[in-house]
Amino acid sequence: MSWRRGRRLGVDVGDARIGVATCDPDGMLATPVETVPAGPDAIARLVTLAAEYEALEVVVGLPLGMSGREGPAAAKVRAFAQSLAVALDGVSVRLIDERLSTVAGQAQLHASGRSVKSSRSVIDQAAAVVILQSAIDAERSHGVAPGEAVEGKDA
């Protein structure tokens, strides 16, 4: 499989907030978009963003433990990704390992001079940028979409 041209959305799902990032159509650079409040309207907002950005794919970070095992947080994200895939209808959704994405996002914000307090509102976006950038870099390197496809219908 060769590189698939098109924008993607990166999503960092949290209990309170959902960070969203996108990339350019050539898949070179991920950039922050917004932080969506978690809750009943989150899926609808992500569907709207996917349409606005004409997303080819949505990449959702899967929070694995450092051992690589899935815990309760991963189960919640899997369920969320499945609901998102159903709602998107035609835009693929993939789960990718997001271990340390929030830590990496915090480090990038700190390196840019932002304090923890001033970066709280954008940390989820920074994590989404890390998730998406790692996905597009992996696809460019290996020629295949990274992670695991999420089915958009009830199995």
> Domains, the chain, ranges and CATH?
8-145 (3.30.420.140)
The residues with which 52 forms a beta bridge, in sequence order, are: none
pLDDT at 100 > cutoff 60: no
Q: How confident is the model at residue 16 (pLDDT cuts 50, 70, 90)?
A: very high
Q: Is the predicted pLDDT of residue 124 greater than 50, yes or no?
A: yes
The DSSP code for 146 is -
Which residue, among 145, 125, 143, 150, has the nearest Cα to 135 in the 3D structure?
145
What's the confidence (pLDDT) of residue 35?
94
Residue 7 has a pLDDT of: 95
Report residue 88's pLDDT band, with 50, 70 and 90 as the boundaries: very high
Q: How many residues does the chain have?
A: 155
**In which band, very low, low, confident or very high, does the pLDDT at 107 lie, cut at 50, 70 and 90?**
low
CA distance 149 to 146: 9
pLDDT at 155 over 50: no
Q: What is the pTM of this model?
A: 0.85
Query: In this structure, what is the dihedral angle of CA atoms 144, 17, 78, 103, given to the nearest 10 degrees?
Result: 60
